[in-house]
Amino acid sequence: MEKQAESFRKLILATAKDIRVVLIKLADRLHNMRTLEYLPEERRKRIAGETMEIYAPLAHRLGMNWISVELEDLAFKFSEPGEYERIRQTVSSKKKDWEKYTNEIVSLINAKMKEFGIRGDVSWRFKHLYGIYSKMKKGNISLRNIYDILGFRIVTASENECYQVLGAVHSLWKPIPGRIKDYIALPKANNYQSIHTAVIGPFGEQMEIQIRTEQMHRIAEYGVAAHWRYKEGDSVEKRRRKNLLKPPPSR
């Protein structure tokens, strides 16, 4: 415990100087989690617990969604393998049924956006396994009572279009009262922005739909790294325009 505490002390001190230290640490932990199965069970559970308590929340706080989600699922897999496998099998069986309807739902959304004169990209994804488990525990409900396992995401060009898409979606399907959250007007602490709504879909099931701009989506996925990369890319482009940084010669 003392060794671990010292490690985190150094990490915190380094963070004050350069946030990239944390990004490297998170990437290193993700790599370790992906190869955790080769370690003895006792070490697997210890590292998984540490990941769930410290690294996944840290990634989430920095807005790095794709890392926090994978860290949570991997930690869940090794800390509670029985629950993980039960949920994985149930979701896998539901996926087969749901995938039959996703193309039709995407087509309906695209047609409605065209009718409203809105351009956007529609995609879909399944809720990650730890997210399902966490919702079960928090609401004290069974897996069969979780209806938003499948979610859709609509990415538009502007903030104004996000609200237009919300109107288009609600004209298509009935919204569920109390399930609309406007994180564009009121962003989360980690700068996450998006509109969330839940509707009764065309087949009588509940669906969650997220609506955001391209920039919001980039920040939602990469968090603080998106800001850093944008700044770095912007400075490189400025130097190019000033001929201070010449592109490599073509071969």
pLDDT in tens, 21-52: 888 889 999 999 999 999 998 999 999 998 99
- Residue 134 sits in the same domain as residue 43: no
Give a yes or no: residue 159 inside a domain.
yes
- Residue 124 sits in the same domain as residue 196: yes
What is the reported pLDDT for 242?
Answer: 44
What is the reported pLDDT for 125?
Answer: 87
Give a yes or no: residue 247 inside a domain.
no
What is the reported pLDDT for 15?
Answer: 64
Residues, the chain: 251
Give a yes or no: residue 174 inside a domain.
yes
Cα-Cα-Cα-Cα torsion 173, 178, 182, 188, nearest 10 degrees, comes to -140
What is the reported pLDDT for 2?
Answer: 64
- Residue 56 sits in the same domain as residue 171: no
What is the reported pLDDT for 183?
Answer: 97
Give a yes or no: residue 141 inside a domain.
yes
- Residue 64 sits in the same domain as residue 117: no
Cα–Cα distance measured from residue 133 to residue 163, given in angstroms and rounded to the nearest whole number = 31
- Residue 67 sits in the same domain as residue 117: no
Say how many domains are in the chain. 2
Cα–Cα distance measured from residue 148 to residue 139, given in angstroms and rounded to the nearest whole number = 14
Cα–Cα distance measured from residue 57 to residue 34, given in angstroms and rounded to the nearest whole number = 18
Contact criterion met (CB below 8 Å) for 145 and 201: no
- Residue 105 sits in the same domain as residue 35: no
CA distances, 66 to each of 27, 52, 63, 98 (Å): 11, 15, 9, 23
51, 79, 107 - which closes a domain = 79
- Residue 110 sits in the same domain as residue 54: no
Cα–Cα distance measured from residue 94 to residue 194, given in angstroms and rounded to the nearest whole number = 27
- Residue 27 sits in the same domain as residue 144: no
Q: Residue 164 maps to which CATH number?
A: 3.30.460.10
- Residue 73 sits in the same domain as residue 146: no
What is the chain's pLDDT, residue by residue, as a tens digit (251 residues)? 666 666 666 666 666 677 788 888 899 999 999 999 999 989 999 999 989 988 898 888 888 889 999 999 999 999 999 999 999 988 888 777 777 788 889 999 999 999 999 999 999 988 899 998 998 888 788 776 666 678 899 999 999 999 999 999 999 999 999 999 999 999 998 889 999 999 998 878 788 999 999 999 999 888 877 655 545 444 434 443 444 333 444 43
Question: What amino acid occupies position 18?
Answer: D
33, 54, 79 - which closes a domain = 79
Q: What pTM was estimated for this model as a whole?
A: 0.75
What is the reported pLDDT for 16?
Answer: 62
